Structure 1
Amino acid sequence: MALGDVPIIWVLGGPGCGKGTQCEKLVQKYAFTHLSTGDLLRAELASGSERSQNIAAIMEKGGLVPNDIVLELLKEAVLKNAASSPGVLIDGFPRERDQGVAFEAAVAAPSVVLYFEASEATLLERIRARSLTSNRIDDNDATVALRLKTFLENNQKVLDQYPDKLKRINAERPVEEIFAEVTGIIDPLVAKS
């Protein structure tokens, strides 16, 4: 697959760090395609496909869906959207080292890795607030605790793979302040493509 100069931007951070909010703002500003692995998985669940039953059981327990399923869904979405988009945001992926390696082999290397950093206390507070209005099966206390534990165990291994592409962003600031920093990172990528 040839993506040409289309930037591929991985957007990482713990559950509740604000990845989705920042991605929405990036889509508005740059008309990027926003691919959230969580959204892709939830869409697959809603499709009623055979693989949706396995995904549901894993997500309800807060576990990670197997790499091959996530990569297959993601690759399909990137292929479908890359030709007509000025850039692709991949939200919440990779969640473990092997996912990043597999994505690079099957699709392409990321142009940049945005990592939204927030304390564990902040993440828990935001997820609890979100759970009051969301209908997500993975926004309950037991599942959130497991998701956060899984994230913390795997995250540093992912970040260590991309020292030259990694941009750490303090996610405990106002949304607009964070967005100003993010656009300072993205503007040069867009100018090149």
Structure 2
Amino acid sequence: MALNNLTVNLVTSWESRRKQNRKTTMLREASVVLICLVLLLGVLTGVEGFVPSTIQRKTPSFGLPTRLADSSGDFPGFEGVDLEQVLGTLKFKKLKRKLKRKKNQAIRDAEAEAIKDANRAAHDARTRANLESKIEKLKKKALKLIISGAPASGKGTQCAIIKEKFGVVHLSTGDMLRAAVAAETEVGKTAKSYMDGGKLVPDEVIIGVVKDRLAEEDCASNGWLLDGFPRTQEQAKALEEAGIYADCFIMLNVPDDDLIERVVGRRSDPVTGEIYHMTFKPPPEDEEIRGRLEQRSDDTEEKARVRLEQFHTNVDAVKGSYTKICVEIDGTLTPDDVSEKVAKAITSKVKK
């Protein structure tokens, strides 16, 4: 009886230890599998430092020599971890090949993008050189140009650039009227009588002033640029009837809200004549200069909207008179970008 009890106790104890060992083994294996999954997830997602350093340092070696699988830096965040041992040689090599393909593809993409950038730069350089060559050739031709746009659309800036690039004579109706009055020409005297009486100078008188000015030697030799004229369809027809034709009609387009912002922020220096804008072209940080700046009486939002309404009333009819030679340009771009587009427009419309 005692022997039987001893036998039962031994068997029970052995079974208990076997079950305990089995649980320990299963927990160990589960821990290893979990570590492998964490490491693999970190590699596949490419998240640097995904695995805590404590796990990296304590990865079991399974009784095999520990090798530094990432001495080359192929697997950021897994320095000191023997990934080949953890993942198995086959999976590890497959992973390295995949990573190598990605790296090679990234290198090829970067090289391709660099080639594209170089080609674009070379193309832009050739385009600019070609444009400059065309401009030089057109300087020998007496160009006949008209530029139009709402108040504050940038006509003044572009007129100065066009004058410098193409060598044309820049003309505005106000300057021409004042010059005709000062020279006491016949049309100048007629214009003066209206101006002195506070009346608008009629179109026929303005056309006479323009026609006389365009016939002068500098305009005949160098060409001309009419700034903001004609303003109405009647003036456009009168120019045509007078035998005055343009090579290119440039239209600067700027949204009304942008125009209002440009107008109300505009200031002028009565001493130097310099024009500033409180937002886009601020004056120098000089109290004397800032103190003497002036704002035109009509540079208010209310008056600017009235001028815009008048401009919009006639602009479509004026453009309709120059359909074949009209080029519309986005005036919201930088002055340099607008200038480049204007130059391209002129070279494309002017007959060689």
The aligned residue for residue 327 of structure 2 is: 167
Contact 2:247 2:350 in 1 (8 A): no
Q: 1:161 to 1:181 in 2, by over 3 A?
A: same
- What is the deviation of 1:154? 0.7
- What is the deviation of 1:131? 5.0
Provide the secondary structure at the position in 2 that maps to 1:164. Answer: helix
Q: 1:24 to 1:140 in 2, by over 3 A?
A: same
- What is the deviation of 1:136? 9.3
Q: 1:45 to 1:79 in 2, by over 3 A?
A: closer
- What is the deviation of 1:164? 1.3
The aligned residue for residue 138 of structure 2 is: none
TM-score, normalised by the number of residues in structure 2: 0.46
Range with greater deviation from structure 2 (122-131 or 133-142): 133-142
Of 212, 215, 220, the residue aligned with 1:83 is 220
Pairs within 5 Å for 1:135-174:
139-141=298-300, 143-174=303-334
Of 147, 152, 159, the residue aligned with 1:16 is 152
Q: 1:145 to 1:174 in 2, by over 3 A?
A: same
- What is the deviation of 1:145? 3.5
| CA shift digits 1:21-40 (9 cap, x unpaired) | 10100111111111112332
Q: 1:136 to 1:104 in 2, by over 3 A?
A: farther
TM-score, normalised by the number of residues in structure 1: 0.79
Of 185, 206, 209, the residue aligned with 1:73 is 209
Query: For 2:214 and 2:259, how far apart are their aligned partners in 1?
Result: 28
Q: 1:91 to 1:118 in 2, by over 3 A?
A: same
The aligned residue for residue 170 of structure 2 is: 34
Range with greater deviation from structure 2 (173-182 or 161-170): 161-170
| CA shift digits 1:53-108 (9 cap, x unpaired) | 633735xxxxx6421222122112111132221x2111101100010110011132
Query: For 2:344 and 2:249, how far apart are their aligned partners in 1?
Result: 14
Pairs within 5 Å for 1:76-155:
76-80=212-216, 81-85=218-222, 87-133=223-269, 139-141=298-300, 143-155=303-315
> Sequence identity of aligned pairs in percent?
29
Gaps in structure 1 of 5+ consecutive residues: 59-63
Q: 1:40 to 1:131 in 2, by over 3 A?
A: farther
Of 172, 192, 204, the residue aligned with 1:52 is 192
Aligned alpha-carbon RMSD (Å): 2.9
Q: 1:53 to 1:18 in 2, by over 3 A?
A: farther
Query: For 1:136 and 1:38, how far apart are their aligned partners in 2?
Result: 20
In structure 2, give the amino acid aligned to 1:139: D
In structure 1, give the amino acid aligned to 2:158: Q
Contact 1:170 1:178 in 2 (8 A): yes
In structure 2, give the amino acid aligned to 1:83: A
- What is the deviation of 1:46? 6.9
Contact 1:41 1:70 in 2 (8 A): yes
Q: 1:26 to 1:150 in 2, by over 3 A?
A: same
In structure 2, give the amino acid aligned to 1:91: D
- What is the deviation of 1:160? 1.8
The aligned residue for residue 25 of structure 2 is: none
Higher RCO (CA 8 Å, separation ≥ 6 residues)? 1
- What is the deviation of 1:117? 0.5
The aligned residue for residue 57 of structure 2 is: none
